[in-house]
Chain A
Amino acid sequence: MSLILLIEQILNGLQFGIMLFLMAAGLTLIFGVMGLINLAHGSLYMIGAFCAAAVAGKTGSFLLGLIAALAGAAIAGALVELVVIRRLYRKDHLDQVLATFALILIFSEGTRWIFGSFPLFLDVPDYLSGPITLPGGIQYPLYRLALIVIGLAVGLGLYLLISKTRLGVQIRAGENDREMIAALGIDIAKLYTIVFALGAALAGFAGALVGAIQSVQVGMGEPVLIMAFVVIVIGGIGSIKGALIGALLVGLTDTLGGIFLPEVMKLFFDPSTATSIGSSLASMAIYVLMAAVLVLKPAGLFGARA
């Protein structure tokens, strides 16, 4: 096991973690401000990826694809909020789960109807393809490195948005005291639509970015959604900072576990047994991490509310 491989895998873990962060940040924001659990967040991720693949396929421009992903997911998010989601804020979590589960069914089958069951492909643009040589002679795919940088930039932008802008003030007020925003004369209905669309745009953006290294297909969103839940449970609901730390922890654990657990098992078993036991264990690693956090800190690492 060389140092180069280790660094490569750490970068892969970071890249995966950053993409999870884009999902988790939206989820946790929506829960923090509106108190809503949104299972259909994975559908918005999928919508972003499909918009990007369709537009990039037609125009040949990856950048236009990304813009389409942002716009498409934001519009879908705003529409869903206006038609369905806003009827759910006052309902209990069970109703929220069911209604957003129903939305998954509608979005997934609707997408299958329009695009068919075969995966679409979104190509990495030329200017981002190929490896780049990092200090120390490590060859690493430029696109994945770009994902890390873009993700961090979006994270920074989100931080500035929430801490420096008027919208951010309203969002923070909404997280702390729902009555207060009404008292401040803020249009709550509008704020909620904006926050939901913002979360949707983040998810759609992540879907498009990841869509270029995986295939774009129906059902791609839900595994990521559940991983984002693990991230939120670890980081603490409603905390953007928790979402970032949790996402990086989960990304690194999942990636490194998949590589190193089979290696560790080789110390105890013959190679083929070790590989199978190791990969089984690796598939459970992030859930074990989640269970450990639950035992130690039931409200998550940065959770204020349980």
Chain B
Amino acid sequence: MIRETHVNAFTLALFVAIPLWAVMADEPFTITLMTRAAVFAIAAIGLNVALGLGGLVSLGHAVFFGLGGYAMGILAHHAQTYTALAEWPLLIEGTKSMPVIWLTAIAVSSLAALAIGILSLRTAGVYFIMITLAFGQMFFFFAISWSEYGGEDGLSIYVRNGFPGLNTLDPIQFYGLCLALLCLVLVFVWRLAKSPFGLALNAARQAPVRVETVGLDPARLRLVAFVLSGAIAGLAGALFADLNRFVSPVMFSWQTSGEIMIFVILGGVGRLFGPVVGALVFVALEHWLGELSEFWHIYLGLLLLLIVLFGRGGLIGMVSGREAVHD
């Protein structure tokens, strides 16, 4: 058995070593795959805040991922067409600056998470799952019918957005940016889990009545967790859109929500590196199995079934032999 911290260190080492190798071997496609894994990992870490710490089984995180994507798409679209986003009550113009886009993505997805959270956290259990799924579908159909921004076809952005001091068109530089953000988010969530808020949220998942009898409000703790979770997923959405230079309603689809959840489960729920391992393994499977068979989702489905039925604690749990953190 390998210790979980060693698994984590090894994973991080892979995120550094593989792209470095790819640069030397001149394999830009591998860098793109690793960028994809890093971005998925951020989204999944976001979901893990709600799911692993808060115990909130949200099947609607595509909403925040998609909003982040559309924040990027809409801002960059207006910048590239030289049109204003809004002229009244104040003039808002598009932008090609990543930091501005990221902040917008985080702000928009947090607000959406706040609204959806207030409504859906009135319920629990199966209701919560169904409602988050339904809100995801609502955004999906809205994006499809919103013809101003491409409707069903989505929006293409011709040139990747810029970051001060970097050439984001160079795959390894853009990857470095995503990896840096991944590390930042990891540190933030690591601190979050140990913080007073994290302690209370953890307890609210396991024994909500107890949390209430010490004078805290479990509902409010969950809502804040849901908002933080949505904000992180929104950031990932903006990065994903920049990676593909394209956004479409697919980002809002229920499959996207399901995939983000798969990343978390593959790696291990409630573990800091669970989502990271899960995203990396998913991208690897998608690449290799996808080459072997057009129908690789069957194998993914079977793998997922096996993990759910027999392997509690995800891949990290199997390797490190520690029980699931979350019951």
In contact, B148 and A276 (Cβ under 8 angstroms): yes
Tell me which of B71-79, B122-130, B189-197 binds A: B122-130
Q: Is A184 an interface residue (CB 8 A)?
A: no
Contacts between chains A and B (CB distance < 8 A), count: 126
Q: List 14 A-B contacts (CB under 8 A).
A: A37-B130, A95-B308, A97-B59, A97-B129, A101-B258, A106-B305, A226-B137, A233-B131, A237-B127, A280-B145, A282-B145, A283-B142, A291-B119, A306-B123
Instruction: Given A37-B129, A97-B129, A112-B295, decide whether A103 and B305 contact each other with a Cβ distance below 8 A.
Output: yes
Contact of A106 among B120, B131, B138, B298 (CB under 8 A): B298
- Whether A222 pairs with B301 at a CB distance below 8 angstroms is no
Across the two chains, which residue of chain A brings its CB closest to B51? A94
| A residues neighboring B (CB under 8 Å) | 31, 37, 84, 87, 91, 93-95, 97-99, 101-106, 108-110, 112-113, 222-223, 226, 229-230, 232-233, 237, 276, 279-280, 282-284, 287, 290-291, 294-295, 298-300, 306
Main secondary structure of the interface of B (DSSP, over half): helix
Could you list which residues of chain B lie within 8 angstroms of chain A, going by C-beta atoms? Answer: 51, 57, 59, 119-120, 122-127, 129-131, 133-135, 137-138, 141-142, 144-148, 254, 258, 261-262, 265, 269, 295-298, 300-302, 304-305, 307-309
Q: Is the CB of A283 within 8 A of B301?
A: no
A99 and B297 contact, CB distance less than 8 A: no
Query: Given A112-B295, A226-B134, A229-B134, does the pair A102, B308 have CB atoms closer than 8 Å?
Result: yes
- The one of A87, A98, A232, A284 in contact with B138, judged by C-beta atoms closer than 8 angstroms, is A284
Q: By the criterion CB–CB under 8 Å, are B131 and A84 in contact?
A: no
A91 to chain B, nearest CB (A): 8
Give every chain A residue within 8 A of B147 (Cβ-Cβ).
276
User: Is A113 in contact with B134, judged by CB distance below 8 angstroms?
Assistant: no
Which residue among A91, A102, A106, A282 has the maximum number of chain B CB atoms within 10 Å of its CB?
A: A102
Known A-B contacts A291-B119, A306-B124; the reply to A102 vs B145 at CB < 8 A is no
Whether the pair A98, B304 counts as a contact (CB closer than 8 A) is: yes
- Besides A105-B304, A226-B137, 10 more A-B contacts (Cβ < 8 Å) are A91-B308, A104-B301, A106-B301, A109-B295, A109-B297, A233-B130, A233-B134, A283-B141, A284-B138, A290-B134
Identity of the chain A residue whose Cβ is nearest the Cβ of B265 in the assembled complex: A98
Residues of chain B within 8 A of A282, CB atoms compared: 145
Residues of B within 8 A of A306 (CB): 123-125, 127
